[in-house]
Structure 1
Amino acid sequence: MKQSTIRDIAGGITAIKGVRAAGVYCGIKRAKPVLSPAEGLDLALIVSDRPATVAGVTTNNRTKAAPVLLCERQLKGGRFSALVANSGNANACTGPQGARDAVQMRDRLARLIDRPAGEVFVASTGVIGKRLPLPKVLSGIREGYGCLSVTGGQEAARAIMTTDTSPKEAAVSFELDGKSVVIGGIAKGSGMIAPNLATMLCFVGTDAGISSPLLRRVLRRTVGDTFNTMTVDGCMSTNDTVLLFANGMSDTPSLKAGTPQLALFEEALFQILSRLARMIMKDGEGATKLVRVEVKGSRTTRDAKVAARAVADSALVKTAFFGEDCNWGRIMAAIGASGIRFDPSRVEIALDTIPVVRQGVGLGAAAERQAAVRMRRSEFDLTIHLHEGTAEAVVLTTDLSEAYVRINAGYRS
C-alpha cells in the first residue's frame, strides 16, 4: 500500500463524518458566561449518527467515580452511539445515589436520540464528593440535544474544561484504500495528572471501520506511549477516562490486524493522542515549563520508567525547573530514592545537549550556567544515562510554581 500523508485538519471531534456535538451551560458551574464561554459551559454532548464500535481505558484509582464504573460496564458491550459529559462536578464518592444520577443522565440522552441505553456513555469531572444538581443536568441534556451540530466540537471541548485555560482539540485526515478517513478528538486536563491509563478526560472518534477488540488493542498501545508518559503533579484522578469510537462512515473496508492500513491508522491515532497530551501538559496548573525526562541505559524498561517518574514527580526537581536552577543534585537524589538498582558513579546527566554530570560527579559552575540558559525556554529535555543496560523510557513533566498552590488551595472556594 502506498503510504498516505497524515494531514492536520480543523474541526476536532466533529471533523469526523456523521458526528455532531454541543456544549451548553446547565447550572453546575457558578454562573453562565457573559464574555468568555470557557468560564461557564458545563455540559457536552457527542452523538454518532451511525452506531459505532468503542474501546476505552479508565483510571486505576480504586476510588472510581460513578460514571467511570458505568463506562466500564458498558465498554463490555463494545457499542457506542453517544456521550454526555459534565464539568464542575465529578459525581465521585456520592454513593448509590450518584450511580443512579449517572444512569439517569445516560437514559435521558438515550431516549432523546432513540438509541439503546447501553450505547450511551457518561463522564464527569470537577469537585469530588458533591451530588450533581440532577434536574439542571437533565434539562441541560435536552437543551444540548437541540443544539447538536457538525460544528459544535469546540463548544463540547470548552464544556468539559475545569481549571484548563484553553480547549484542547485535534483532528487529522489520511487515505485508506483511496478514501479519506478522519480521526478527531477533544480532551481536558490540567491538574491531577499522573501516568496510569487515562489521566484526564479524552474523547476520540473516527469514521474508519474497526472491530471493538482490535480497537481496544490499538488504543491501549497508543495510550501507553502518550497519556501514560505524562505527570503534572503525580496525583491520579477518580474520573480519568479515554473513549475511542469508530462509526465506519468513511465506508472503507474494516481494518484488520497486521496490515499496512492498520499501521497507518495507529500512526494517525498516535499523532492525535500525542498532540492532546502535549496540550494537557503545556496547560498544567501554573506550569511555565514542559520538560521531557528521558532515562537511558537502565537494566530494564521498568527501571527506566520508575527512575524517570521519580525525577518527574519530585517537588524539589520541579521547583528547580521553575527557578531555572540546574540543581542536578536533586535529580541524583530522586533517582537514588526510586528504588532501582544502579551505580551512582556511572550516571551522566545532560540538560538539552549540555552535559552537567559525568561519572556521577558535577562538571562545574560553567556547565551549570550553560544549562540554566537552556532552562529559560518553555520546553527543554533532561537526559539521564545510567550505563547499566540498554532499556530506556520517557516521561513528560512540568515545573511547579506558586500558581499551582494558589489554584489548588482555592479549588472549592
Structure 2
Amino acid sequence: MASLTYLSGFGNEFASEDPRCPGALPEGQNNPQVCPYGLYAEQLSGSAFTCPRSSNKRSWLYRILPSVRHKPFTAMKCEDLTESWNEVDPDPNQLRWLPFIIPKASEKKVDFVAGLHTLCGAGDSKSRNGIGIHVYACNTSMTDSCFQNSDGDFLIVPQQGEVLITTEFGKMTVEPNEICVIQQGMRFAVNVFGETRGYILEVYGAHFELPDLGPIGANGLANPRDFLTPVAWYEDRRVEGYTIINKYQGKLFSCQQDFSPFNVVAWHGNYTPYKYNLENFMVINCVAFDHADPSIFTVLTAKSTRPGVAIADFVIFPPRWGVADHTFRPPYYHRNCMSEFMGLIKGHYEAKEEGFQPGGGSLHSIMTPHGPDEDCFEKNSTTVLKPERVAEGTMAFMFESSFSMAVTKWGLQTCQRLDKNYYKCWEPLKSHFNPNWRPTSK
C-alpha cells in the first residue's frame, strides 16, 4: 500500500498536484486556453454559483480526460439501498439491532456498493431535503468501478476493518475510530482487506460543517487543523468497461467508459473529501453538577434553514473524565423532538453495557422515551461520586436529526438483526417513591 500524505485544515482553499507532474496547476487563472501537460480543466461545484463567499464550495480539477466522456447511464438493481420510506408501516418503538452480518467471502463476494443497506431515513433527494442512514458490510474491494452520489454527502464511519478510499482528489486510508466525508458528486472506490463493516450518514441539500462554538469560545470540540485532505494522485489507465455507478434520486444507475476516473493530476479549491481522527476531539464536559446535553459532543453538523435546528448532527461519546457532584452521571431519561440513531464502534456504552454491541445500532424516534437500563440506573444512583474515567476504550456515536425517520423493510424484517427484546431492559425499573421522605438537614 502506498504511503499517504495529507494537507490539513477544514473549509479553506487548498491546492495539490501529483509530484510526478510539477507545475500541473495553472498559474494566475483557473481555465487557461491550454492547461499544463495538455490536461483538461473541469470544475466540481458543491454549491450554487451565487452562494456567499463563506459558503461557496467548488474545486477545479486538472485531468487527463474529462468526466463527461462516458456511455449513457442505465438503471441497475438497487438491492437494499433505497429512498422508499413507505415500504412498511411506521414503528414508534425503541429499536435496537444486533451487529449487522458481514457476508463471508467464501460464500459470496460483496463489495462496498453491493454491501450498502438503508436502515432508516426521511425526506426526498429530489427536493434536496432529507437524510438516509445506511450500513455497509462487505468483504471484497471494488474492481474497475467507482461510486458517485449525486443525491448528497456521505459521512462514513468504519467500525470493523480499515478502508482505502481512492477519490478523484487522491487516496485516504480510513480506520475504525476515524471518519471520512465524501461530498456530493465526488467519485470514489473502496478497497477493503477482509471482512469490513461500518455506518453511513447521508444528507441531501446541505453539507457538513463544524458547529458554532458560541460561549465555548475559540477552541474546543473538533479543531479545523485536524481535518485531513488527500494529496493529488493520478493513474493514466485505459480499461475496457470501467463502470461508474451513480446514485441519483434514490436509485442506482451505471455507465461504462474506457479509462480510470482517477486521472486528476492536480486540483485546487475548497470542495474536497476529508477525514478526521475521533481521538483528536477536545471534549467539553460538566465539572460541577447535572448532565450536559449531547450537543456538546458534536463533531460535524448539517444545518437546516431554521436557526439552531440541524438536518443532522454527528455526535460522539469519547473517553473523558466524569467529575460532576450530586449528579446522576449517565444520560437521563428523555423524550425529545429529534430522532436519535446510535452506533458503537468499540467498547461498551455506559448507559447500556449489555445488549448494545459494536457493529449494531439503536433508534429512538421523535418523542419516544429512552434512557439507562435498570442495572445502569441502580448502580449510578448509589455509587460514591468521585472523579472517574468514563467510556475508557469505548467510542459510541449518534446521528441526530430533526427529521422523523422511517425504518426500511430491510431494517425491520430482512436483515433479521432486530432485537425484539430491547424493551425488556427497562421492565425491571421499580418505583422508589417514598411519600414520607423529608430532606435531611445540612
TM-score band, normalised by shorter chain: under 0.3
- TM-score by length of structure 2 reads 0.24
Q: Mark the structure with the bigger radius of gyration.
A: 2
Structure with bigger RCO (C-alpha 8 Å, 6+ apart): 2
- TM-score by length of structure 1 reads 0.25
Determine which structure has the larger helix proportion and give its number.
1
